[in-house]
Amino acid sequence: MSKHMPPAHPFDFDAWSEDAGDDKLHEECGVFGVTGVTDAANFVALGLHALQHRGQEAGGIVSYDPASGFNSARRFGYVRDNFTKQSLMETLPGALAIGHVRYSTAGSKGATQIRDVQPFFGEFSMGGAAIAHNGNITNADALRRELIERGSIFQSSSDSECIIHLMARSLQRKVPERMMDALRRVEGAFSVVAMTRTKLIGVRDPLGVRPLVIGRIGDEGWVLSSETCALDIIGADYLRDVEPGEMVVIEDGELKSLHPFVPAKPRFCIFEHVYFSRPDSIIGGRSVYETRRQIGVELAREAPVDADLVCPVPDSGTPAAIGFAHESGIPYGMGIIRNQYMGRTFIEPTEQIRNMGVRLKLNVNRALIEGKRVILVDDSVVRGTTSRKIKEMILDAGAAEVHFRIASPPTAWPCFYGVDTPQREKLLAATMSEEEMREHLAVDSLKFISLDGLYRAVGEVKGRDASCPQYCDACFSGDYPVAPTDMLEKGFQLKAAE
Amino acid sequence: MSKHMPPAHPFDFDAWSEDAGDDKLHEECGVFGVTGVTDAANFVALGLHALQHRGQEAGGIVSYDPASGFNSARRFGYVRDNFTKQSLMETLPGALAIGHVRYSTAGSKGATQIRDVQPFFGEFSMGGAAIAHNGNITNADALRRELIERGSIFQSSSDSECIIHLMARSLQRKVPERMMDALRRVEGAFSVVAMTRTKLIGVRDPLGVRPLVIGRIGDEGWVLSSETCALDIIGADYLRDVEPGEMVVIEDGELKSLHPFVPAKPRFCIFEHVYFSRPDSIIGGRSVYETRRQIGVELAREAPVDADLVCPVPDSGTPAAIGFAHESGIPYGMGIIRNQYMGRTFIEPTEQIRNMGVRLKLNVNRALIEGKRVILVDDSVVRGTTSRKIKEMILDAGAAEVHFRIASPPTAWPCFYGVDTPQREKLLAATMSEEEMREHLAVDSLKFISLDGLYRAVGEVKGRDASCPQYCDACFSGDYPVAPTDMLEKGFQLKAAE
Amino acid sequence: MSKHMPPAHPFDFDAWSEDAGDDKLHEECGVFGVTGVTDAANFVALGLHALQHRGQEAGGIVSYDPASGFNSARRFGYVRDNFTKQSLMETLPGALAIGHVRYSTAGSKGATQIRDVQPFFGEFSMGGAAIAHNGNITNADALRRELIERGSIFQSSSDSECIIHLMARSLQRKVPERMMDALRRVEGAFSVVAMTRTKLIGVRDPLGVRPLVIGRIGDEGWVLSSETCALDIIGADYLRDVEPGEMVVIEDGELKSLHPFVPAKPRFCIFEHVYFSRPDSIIGGRSVYETRRQIGVELAREAPVDADLVCPVPDSGTPAAIGFAHESGIPYGMGIIRNQYMGRTFIEPTEQIRNMGVRLKLNVNRALIEGKRVILVDDSVVRGTTSRKIKEMILDAGAAEVHFRIASPPTAWPCFYGVDTPQREKLLAATMSEEEMREHLAVDSLKFISLDGLYRAVGEVKGRDASCPQYCDACFSGDYPVAPTDMLEKGFQLKAAE
Amino acid sequence: MSKHMPPAHPFDFDAWSEDAGDDKLHEECGVFGVTGVTDAANFVALGLHALQHRGQEAGGIVSYDPASGFNSARRFGYVRDNFTKQSLMETLPGALAIGHVRYSTAGSKGATQIRDVQPFFGEFSMGGAAIAHNGNITNADALRRELIERGSIFQSSSDSECIIHLMARSLQRKVPERMMDALRRVEGAFSVVAMTRTKLIGVRDPLGVRPLVIGRIGDEGWVLSSETCALDIIGADYLRDVEPGEMVVIEDGELKSLHPFVPAKPRFCIFEHVYFSRPDSIIGGRSVYETRRQIGVELAREAPVDADLVCPVPDSGTPAAIGFAHESGIPYGMGIIRNQYMGRTFIEPTEQIRNMGVRLKLNVNRALIEGKRVILVDDSVVRGTTSRKIKEMILDAGAAEVHFRIASPPTAWPCFYGVDTPQREKLLAATMSEEEMREHLAVDSLKFISLDGLYRAVGEVKGRDASCPQYCDACFSGDYPVAPTDMLEKGFQLKAAE
């Protein structure tokens, strides 16, 4: 008399975690800074809460107060669970503060330790500075070796720590000049928010790969943030983006703009539009929600299909599904219901647990799906594991047909600019054609938006300029705007080399 | 030189909590039981996770194993945070287990204590039993007084504890008979899941106010659950509902059906369709999602308005908004974005903090809203505080007009059958007409679905049978199917008395 | 190349715990109550801290305040770690409070649960009462069966819970009368401190086995405590002992004395003098320290030996060692040093870990011991495991001879009156003669004080009155003043039956 | 009708903490290292537990394992509460490990942060090293300024971090040579235990102010420890002390001895004998217990008094009291009883709370004291606050006379070599003569041992050699063997300058 057995390890922590992420690319960081307000750290905490989707593993805040100097707190876990406690926030006084949320550093050998959590702080001969970094330094290994040889002691496994050591060794006296010195040695993508006792500083790399915006709050407050949604939460007004290659230094209520780098044609990360940024953010003057909806419209034009229902894979596929439904005239419906009691965690080591995760987080709305030809709209396919699982759920529920429409081109190349991607061989699109993927997923049809279609959706009416692309789209095209120095040294093969 | 001040107490715990709830009615409990499977407690944990929306404050599981007897664990917080730990789950062995999630008991004088968390356990002269109760006993005060007079010692402030004391004093020997004895003394609404060393028992009150369904898992496994979505998560098949007034006793793989009460016409809670139940659940043979979508359709017919955008108040207003958009032909869009890093907590003591809460949880998708005439579809209006705040957010974002469409009739009466409602004077609809509410909220229009429209949406094509309503709709109509004995004693005025 | 291996499991929690206890008898409880002071719970916390040696596993406090009613807090761990927190103590307002510290109930089937921690509270038809019990009810099993049969629901595995259920069922209306009713049904040893909304109540069983004293604080404050050392810590004055068989009821600043039981000849526990009580307490008018020192004097007279050093086994052997050294003229010295960073915990499941424990807690003062003939003075020998280990340490350090002198007679019988004792077969003296024990321990000599010598040390100049002993000395004599009903039913053999 | 009020803030954490310490000098650190054993970190944990009296605030362990590299754990709190957990210890594999316990660094501006907890780790160009430091660097401020100027980034406020930065910048390649380079720049007192991947290293400063001993365990295991009592706990054999100015490098089971410093006449800290070290340790070939007992003998000769009882202030005054009683022939007795449930914590900010602390920790054995002329033997008088409080307790208990005998000379100067001392003006002996102190304490007599008497007790039969003292006794004499560079810069006045 055999009993029904539960799934293996149904209660491992990881089995409960969300896995929207497991089959997604992940932004590694969000940065935020504010000056000229009372209890600045409180604003930073709110801002980081709004940026939590950019990094959910840990967060940190540094503030400066003339009476007690620099103070910092770094914690694992969600902002709302740590930086909401009066007892903690009282240790972070002052009118100037910066903060950081992080996912995890690709380069770390193992689990993140608290010493890897930013902002990093350094005391220099003319005073101290704290920095928070979004992006990835592609020559960090080489820089670290050089700095250790000269006697620097690293405290973390983070590539971002190089910046503060380079600053400490700069022959310049003042922090902005030290930072210029340091960042000129750095290759890769970076949006940095930094602070001294009196200054709030923001910098973007010359290509402007990662976002950074400027906001105003009250008469004399200034804000720097990865996204505009974090301005909204504190009631700040969006002023403009920090420009690619620009350094802004805010002091005594005034902003000074510097341009310390050799100018270059901007290459903003197009995946910020597809997935990373929040739909209520404005990037480069464009609504992320509207862009995603427009991707759905383009998809419906590029890859129409006769069906009964357009159904988003929640939550990131929703705007594109709305656009697809509108353009196609096929009814929109919630065929998949998300359990809102799952956090958006990504610590899932095995494929088996990942697969189980889907059942914990998502359930099929059987009554809606049954007997219907369903178009599932998702934002991307990375490993394909989640897509296969969702397809099975839909078919188990009695769908007549399943058609996948993907709101991004096939993800075939890893990102080295601050996004966590699997090794290339684990990317489904790196080893299979679209038709092979369709067979692998065993669906009735599978279509990705074209690269040109994606460019049109972000407003480039003529599509992608192949000779000089308007965005960084390396994850789709393999066209890397900055050479991945450390990775090449480790044997990574560029497209040209294939 | 004055600085911009942060909102008062921006980091109070409560300010971070979700408040979709604060202005909602809340289900107080979910119950789940399973027998005939290996490691039954693991299944219960999964089931409770799927029922978390019915009670998020605390949860408990009792299991029985011949080697170690009855074991129990009761914890505050989410199921996923407690009942996922291998170390805890290993203390709950056995093939038979029941569980409970709770919100909070209206009758409690203060904060819930762990001793108030169900299931409750009692050792009787012929063996022990554990019970988990969803509902509310309307004569609990009277019963408690009587039991104390006779020498019973209560350990909790929960009305549900009366049941176990009545069972302890029953002159019957066996647990099912003791339970019949006890429940015949009880007035009100109850769906009870109970267990002995060998039996899994389910009961619904004669009116069947609260839901309870039966599922099968594997060859010999049986499941009892508040909703079908909790069958889905463990891969169980939905068999049928426990009928109003029915007691099912499952032992040795067999189910016996008993009918211990005087028969009555069923009065299932209509608000389960409107808000409490998960959209992917099937209630009384009807899809909750489809019912809600149909409410939107009815609303569009009853209260059409010329506008540019149909926008749900996330997440509970979404299905009705989809239905409204479909019926009206006005485009559907996500004008309000929900921060997914908020839990669904309800512990917000003051209106000021509640209002702030909205900003933490919701943000306007300004680019979509700007300049548009917006129809906002929400599930209900309780105090009206959230509605007013949302309206302000929408107008601040530049909407041209704001029209509220509410997917339930005005909530004018408190529930005494297991739902947490504010005192009657705090219900907006108890003191204002629809037009007064519109003025109070200062919106361009405000329309609630009619009671008949709601009944049509749940499939009663002729609408509500006023002489003998098909559902319990006391919160809208003031027509209480069971006399609220304790409340009447405390001075509550019935509608007839007004 | 073999490496030196660490001891097995050197870091198990238990290996770190103190084991002075492991080879000792343990008092199970301390009780304390106070009325007529501001913030009574604070005084109770201080009192329980002073009584911590009587029970270190858990503690609880109940207070009453007219505004908020009865409040309680029960916690595992030391008083100083729990009842020192302002946030917790603020939940225990009022001028009347009682408390309890406990070791663990012999009768519990497994680990103590928080519901086993006293004081217990019951709400009766005329108001509530809380009780804290030191002692053991020898007919608890029979009472529990009877109460369950009648419909009482037990919440704990504690024998003390019987008292509150008996009170709930009493036909009397007032709490003192209900308590008399209840305690007349109870057999065994008990010192009870109880409270209602207005009364502080103390009772001792007719034999007065366990201690209970009365103190005064300020003009109108009254205190009840297991020992006088807990009066000292709050600055209260010792008034007198509660007499055997007496019930005191303190209300409105007045004490009333009642005698509800059939009078009996007192039989106070003589082991309280030997080990349980703190040396700075006064029991029955006698200084515990002076009694212990006098035991050493008697031992030096009864069992002299030629040696170079009198060395106490710290800390409980110290007063007797001082007396022995003084009487014998042999120098006193600290040959064994105690690591003060060990708590006095007793949770050591295996003999192996117990043995290791000694090394963690005690170290030999090698320079003092080397080459000397050493007299080790200890308070008792229970299993003999610690004694053997200590002997080895002393010999390893180079002692020429080791002579044990034990400040109590051989412990040959278990206690059933509120003291945790191993099963009889694990008591070394139950199975061996003094000479066999000496051989077992492999020491040069081993002498216990005689029963008469012990009686002389507590002031009975003629020694023990065999026909009618002045104390309960069952653990030495097997002469049980109250029949151990439950244990006899389980097959325990009295001395007469051997 | 006024109620008796509890003492102000009776439940502040600090009020519960021990204060033996508050009026004592405190050792700041203990260090321990082991190589050539399986699971070395376990031995380190045991060793640190035995050294806990040298630093109770925090502890850390670093281990090296070829498979996983360097691993570390640093925690606040007692060793037994942190480094006993299997889960933590499993993260510290390997046959080589070092550890550190700390009190708190005098130089720190505020509360210790976890980053201040040693061992410190640095990765150099030829491999990494971890160091644990006991002592104090008297030119740390100057060194830190210089290092920051050159681009080093400090992570802690600890003076010990200078050593690792100096090592990182050394032009030498190998770690021992880098360490020599670094330590030659360092002034002050230091006993350092360090490790690389293969070496265990120990160093003492040229004067040998702080202790460090060498032990053997098994055939190939080596141990370095601050005191011998930590050898005992792991069953290691004491080999010899690391000599003043010696560096030992242990690798592959062999010890090499180096002498990198200019030789100097040793000046071991005499206060280690008086108070810091555990009585069961052997220092410089002398038993600490015997030295303390001998101090009591000298005191009895230097300052006899007619009395009835010699009573130690527990626990540190005990050996001297035993010696005093023996020499004087006056009976020894425990007039003050220590509550063993107090930890030995020192975090007491105010004098008021300190005074209250005494009542929580100590109680008078009234029956013994009453009517007697009492000699109280204590180890030292720092601020005098505890002494005054104890005197009051003794008099309240009815003592006829109170005579203080102090087992050290008056403490009139702060220590700058690794001991936490109050500022000079808070030292009672810095501002009062012996007679003024007697009046201040209001006792019948007060006598300190003479400096010569102390030297005799440590075996210098001719007493102190004033021209070239055999020990560092700066706290008594103001004769500082190493110039306190940083303190002089901050304005500290040497004795000659007075």
Q: What three-state secondary structure class fits C85?
A: coil
pLDDT band at A177 (very low <50, low <70, confident <90, very high): very high
Q: Structure tokens of B300?
A: 């569009």
Whether residue C337 and residue D279 make contact (CB cut-off 8 A), yes or no, is yes
- A85 touching chain B per CB within 8 A: yes
Q: Is A269 annotated as a binding residue?
A: yes
Q: Which residue has the tokens 């009580």?
A: C277
How many angstroms away from the CA of D244 is the closest CA of chain C?
24
Whether residue A4 and residue B282 make contact (CB cut-off 8 A), yes or no, is no
First-to-last C-alpha distance (Å) of chain D:
58
- Backbone phi and psi for residue A75, each to the nearest 5 degrees, phi listed first: -140, 145
Residue C162 pLDDT exceeds 90: yes
Helix (H) or strand (E) holding C213: strand C213-217
Whether residue C168 and residue B155 make contact (CB cut-off 8 A), yes or no, is no
How many angstroms away from the CA of C493 is the closest CA of chain D?
38
- C315 touching chain D per CB within 8 A: yes
Q: Write the DSSP symbol of residue C449.
A: P
Q: Which residue of A has its CA nearest to D72?
A: A113
Residue C100 pLDDT exceeds 90: yes
Q: Structure tokens of A484?
A: 């991945």
Q: Is D316 annotated as a binding residue?
A: yes
Same domain, D342 and D220: no
Look at chain C and count its residues.
498
Mutate to test the interface with D, among C341, C370, C394, C458 (most CBs of D within 10 A): C341
Find residue B225's DSSP bridge partners.
Answer: B32, B213
Residues 145-184 of chain B whose Cβ lies under 8 A from any Cβ of chain C = 148-155, 164-165, 168-169
Same domain, D26 and D110: yes
Which positions of A are catalytic? 29
- Chains contacting chain A through 3 or more C-beta pairs under 8 A: B, D
Q: Is C269 annotated as a binding residue?
A: yes
Q: What three-state secondary structure class fits C367?
A: helix
Q: Which residue has the tokens 């569009």?
A: B300
Q: Structure tokens of D171?
A: 């032009």
Q: Is A473 annotated as a binding residue?
A: no
Look at chain B and count its residues.
498
Q: Which residue of C has its CA nearest to D337?
A: C280
**Cβ count near D126 (within 10 Å):** 14
Give B79's contacts in chain A (Cβ within 8 Å). 341
In a domain, D261, yes or no: yes
What pLDDT shows up at residue B498? Answer: 56
Same domain, C325 and C437: yes
In terms of Cβ atoms closer than 10 Å to its own Cβ (0-12, 13-18, 19+), residue B66 is exposed
In a domain, C67, yes or no: yes
Mutate to test the interface with D, among C1, C3, C290 (most CBs of D within 10 A): C3
- B125 touching chain C per CB within 8 A: yes
Look at chain A and count its residues.
498
pLDDT over 70 percentage in chain A: 90
In a domain, D473, yes or no: no
Cβ-contact A322, A315 below 8 angstroms: no
Residue A477 pLDDT exceeds 50: yes
How many angstroms away from the CA of A310 is the closest CA of chain B?
12
Mutate to test the interface with C, among B108, B153, B158, B162 (most CBs of C within 10 A): B153
Peptide bond into A19 cis (omega under 30): no
- pLDDT below 70 — which residues of chain D? 1-22, 104-112, 343-359, 497-498
Given D124, D153, D165, which is nearest A148 (Cβ)? D124
Same domain, C259 and C396: no
- Backbone phi and psi for residue C304, each to the nearest 5 degrees, phi listed first: -70, 155
Mean per-residue pLDDT over chain A, rounded: 89
Say how far apart CA C418 and CA C271 lie, in whole Å: 12
Whether residue A123 and residue D154 make contact (CB cut-off 8 A), yes or no, is yes
What pLDDT shows up at residue C104? Answer: 62
**Cβ count near C443 (within 10 Å):** 21
Q: Which pLDDT tens digit goes with each residue over A377-426?
A: 999 999 998 899 899 999 999 999 999 999 999 999 999 999 888 889 89
Residue C336 pLDDT exceeds 70: yes
Pairing between β-strand B213-217 and β-strand B254-258 as defined by DSSP bridges: unpaired
Q: Structure tokens of A91?
A: 């240790």
What pLDDT shows up at residue A138? Answer: 95
Same domain, B223 and B360: no
Which positions of D are catalytic? 29
Q: Which residue of A has its CA nearest to D125?
A: A149
Give B63's contacts in chain A (Cβ within 8 Å). none
- Give the dihedral sign, CA B421/B425/B428/B432: positive
Q: Structure tokens of A216?
A: 């105003």
CA–centroid distance for D199 within its chain? 27
Q: Which pLDDT tens digit goes with each residue over A337-350?
A: 988 887 533 222 23
Same domain, C210 and C323: no
What pLDDT shows up at residue B112? Answer: 63
Helix (H) or strand (E) holding D288: helix D288-302
How many angstroms away from the CA of B393 is the closest CA of chain A?
11
Average pLDDT over residues C43-65: 93
Whether residue A359 and residue B233 make contact (CB cut-off 8 A), yes or no, is yes
How many angstroms away from the CA of B101 is the closest CA of chain C?
21
Q: Write the DSSP symbol of residue A335.
A: -
In a domain, D439, yes or no: yes
pLDDT over 70 percentage in chain B: 90
Same domain, B185 and B299: no
Residue C257: which CATH number?
3.60.20.10
Whether residue C124 and residue B148 make contact (CB cut-off 8 A), yes or no, is yes
- Of the residues A239, A267, A295, the one at which a domain ends: A267
* Max avg pLDDT among A182-186, A281-285, D418-422: A182-186
What pLDDT shows up at residue B358? Answer: 55
What pLDDT shows up at residue A343? Answer: 52
Whether residue C229 and residue D36 make contact (CB cut-off 8 A), yes or no, is no
- C458 touching chain D per CB within 8 A: no
Alpha carbons within 13 angstroms on the beta-carbon side of residue A318 total 22
Q: Which pLDDT tens digit goes with each residue over A455-468?
A: 999 999 999 999 99
Whether residue B334 and residue A341 make contact (CB cut-off 8 A), yes or no, is no
Same domain, A328 and A228: no
In a domain, C8, yes or no: no
Give C308's contacts in chain D (Cβ within 8 Å). none
Whether residue C1 and residue D50 make contact (CB cut-off 8 A), yes or no, is no
The set of residues, in sequence order, having a beta carbon less than 8 Å from that of B487 and lying 6+ positions away, is B138, B416
Q: Which pLDDT tens digit goes with each residue over A292-329?
A: 999 999 999 999 999 999 999 998 899 999 999 999 99
The set of residues, in sequence order, having a beta carbon less than 8 Å from that of D446 and lying 6+ positions away, is D403, D404, D406, D434, D437, D438
The set of residues, in sequence order, having a beta carbon less than 8 Å from that of D392 and lying 6+ positions away, is none
In a domain, C66, yes or no: yes
- Chains contacting chain B through 3 or more C-beta pairs under 8 A: A, C
Say how far apart CA C186 and CA C139 lie, in whole Å: 7
Q: Which residue of C has its CA nearest to D343?
A: C341
- A138 touching chain B per CB within 8 A: no
Give D145's contacts in chain A (Cβ within 8 Å). 125
Residue B11 pLDDT exceeds 60: no
Q: What three-state secondary structure class fits B444?
A: coil
Residue D399: which CATH number?
3.40.50.2020
Mutate to test the interface with B, among C153, C169, C185 (most CBs of B within 10 A): C153
Average pLDDT over residues B334-340: 91
What pLDDT shows up at residue A12? Answer: 34
- A219 touching chain D per CB within 8 A: no
Same domain, C253 and C307: no
Q: Is A472 annotated as a binding residue?
A: yes
Given C221, C282, C360, which is nearest D4 (Cβ)? C221
In a domain, D497, yes or no: no
Residues 9-48 of chain B whose Cβ lies under 8 A from any Cβ of chain A = 10-13, 15-16, 36-39, 42-43, 45-46
Q: Which domain holds residue D304?
A: 287-466
Residue A4 pLDDT exceeds 90: no
Amino acid identity for residue A86 in this structure:
Q
In a domain, A494, yes or no: no
Same domain, A44 and A179: yes
Whether residue A38 and residue B337 make contact (CB cut-off 8 A), yes or no, is no
Mutate to test the interface with B, among A80, A222, A347, A393 (most CBs of B within 10 A): A80
Residue A26 pLDDT exceeds 50: yes
Same domain, A333 and A432: yes
Cβ-contact B156, B115 below 8 angstroms: yes
Residues 343-372 of chain B whose Cβ lies under 8 A from any Cβ of chain A = 343-344, 359-360, 363-368
Q: Which pLDDT tens digit goes with each residue over A102-127?
A: 986 443 444 567 888 999 999 998 88
- D319 touching chain C per CB within 8 A: yes
The dihedral over CA atoms of D182, D183, D185, D188, expressed in degrees to the nearest 10, equals 150
Same domain, C248 and C125: yes
- Beta strands per DSSP E along D196-280: 199-204, 213-217, 221-225, 237-241, 247-251, 254-258, 268-269
Say how far apart CA C417 and CA C208 lie, in whole Å: 11
- Give the dihedral sign, CA B159/B161/B162/B164: positive
Give A93's contacts in chain D (Cβ within 8 Å). none
The count of structural domains within chain B is 2
The set of residues, in sequence order, having a beta carbon less than 8 Å from that of D220 and lying 6+ positions away, is C1, C3, C4, D36, D253
Q: Which residue of B has its CA nearest to C124?
A: B148
The dihedral over CA atoms of B158, B159, B165, B171, expressed in degrees to the nearest 10, equals -160
Residue C353 pLDDT exceeds 50: no
